[in-house]
Amino acid sequence: MREAAEQSAGSLPALAMAGYAASLAHEISQPLATILTHADAALRWIDRPHPDVGEAVSGLKQIRASARRAAGIVASLRALARQAPPALVPVRIEDVVADALQLVAGEADARRIAIVDRLAAARGAVLVDPVQIRQVLINLVTNAIHAIGERASSDGRVTIETSPLDGAIRIAVSDNGCGMEADVLARIFEPFFTTKSCGMGVGLAICRSIIEAHGARLEAISVRGEGSTFSFALLRAPEA
C-alpha cells in the first residue's frame, strides 16, 4: 500500500492524462456537433421569406440543452483536475461513514431503500482525508441507490461493512441492485463512461483517483441481476 501511495503522490501518469484528454475530446465533441447542426438549421428556418419561428425556437432549445451538457462535462472535468492531494488526519472511520450516510439518507428514504451499516468488526482511527473519503462513500452509495432503482423490487438494501485487514480497515459498500455485465464492469472507472441517461460518468473515476491517492485500490465485483460490491482499505492511524 505504501508503494502505491508514493506512486500516486505526484501528478497523473502521462498515459492516464492522454486517456482523459482523449475521452474529454470525444465527450465534448458530441454536444458541440449537435449545437452546430441545430444552429445551421435554425438559421435556415429564420432566413427564408416566411420564417418558421416555431422550428427555430425548437432548434434553439436543442442548442441550449447541448450547451448545458458541454458545460456539465467541463464542470466534472474540473472536479477531477481540482482534486488536491489528500490532507491526511486521524479520524474514526465510523464518524466518516455516519457523515456520508446522513447526506444520502434522504434519497434512500424517498426510494424506500434500507441502508445498513455493519461497522462492528472494525472501528477506530484511520489516516485519511475525511472530506475526500466522505465523497467516495457518497458516490458509491448514490450509485448503489440508482442500481437498486433499476431493479424494481421492494427489498432494496445498501450495506456498508468494515473488516480488519492487517494494519488497515477494509470498507465495502454492497447493494442488491441490478449488478453489471462483465463488459460494463470492465469500463466503470473510465472517465465519462455511463449507462445512465442523466449520468456524467465521472463518479467512479473520481473515487478511484481519491482512493489511489490514499495509497489503496478501489475494487469492484458484480453479478448481473444480483448486485455489486465496491471495496477499499484505509490505513489505521498510528496509536497515539
Ligand X SMILES: Nc1ncnc2c1ncn2[C@@H]1O[C@H](COP(=O)(O)OP(=O)(O)OP(=O)(O)O)[C@@H](O)[C@H]1O
Q: Contact residues for ligand X (CB under 6 A)? A: 139, 143-144, 147, 175, 177-180, 184, 188, 193-196, 199-205, 228
Coil, helix or strand at residue 18: helix
Coil, helix or strand at residue 113: coil
Which CB sits closer to ligand X, 113 or 178? 178
Which CB sits closer to ligand X, 42 or 70? 70
Of ligand X, Mg ion, none, which one sits near residue 191, judging by CB under 5 to 8 A according to partner kind? none
- Whether the CB-CB separation of 110 and 232 falls below 8 Å is answered with no
Which CB sits closer to ligand X, 205 or 211? 205
- Whether the CB-CB separation of 129 and 87 falls below 8 Å is answered with yes
Of ligand X, Mg ion, none, which one sits near residue 66, judging by CB under 5 to 8 A according to partner kind? none
Minimum distance of ligand X from residue 89's CB (angstroms):
26
Instruction: In whole angstroms, give the CA distance from residue 147 to residue 196.
Output: 10
Which CB sits closer to ligand X, 178 or 235? 178
- Radius of gyration from C-alpha coordinates of the chain: 21
Minimum distance of ligand X from residue 141's CB (angstroms):
9
Which CB sits closer to ligand X, 122 or 202? 202
Extract the C-alpha cell encoding 141.
Answer: 452509495
Minimum distance of ligand X from residue 231's CB (angstroms):
12
> Residue 186 gets which letter from DSSP?
T
- Whether the CB-CB separation of 139 and 96 falls below 8 Å is answered with no
Minimum distance of Mg ion from residue 170's CB (angstroms):
21
Instruction: In whole angstroms, give the CA distance from residue 37 to residue 183.
Output: 32
Minimum distance of ligand X from residue 44's CB (angstroms):
36
What does DSSP say about strands 219-223 and 89-92: parallel, antiparallel, or unpaired?
unpaired
Of ligand X, Mg ion, none, which one sits near residue 78, judging by CB under 5 to 8 A according to partner kind? none
Which residue is at the shortest CB distance from ligand X? 203
- Provide the total of helices (H) and of strands (E) in the chain, helices listed first: 7, 7
The enclosing H or E element of 58 equals: helix 53-82
Of Mg ion, ligand X, none, which one sits near residue 229, judging by CB under 5 to 8 A according to partner kind? none
Which CB sits closer to ligand X, 125 or 147? 147
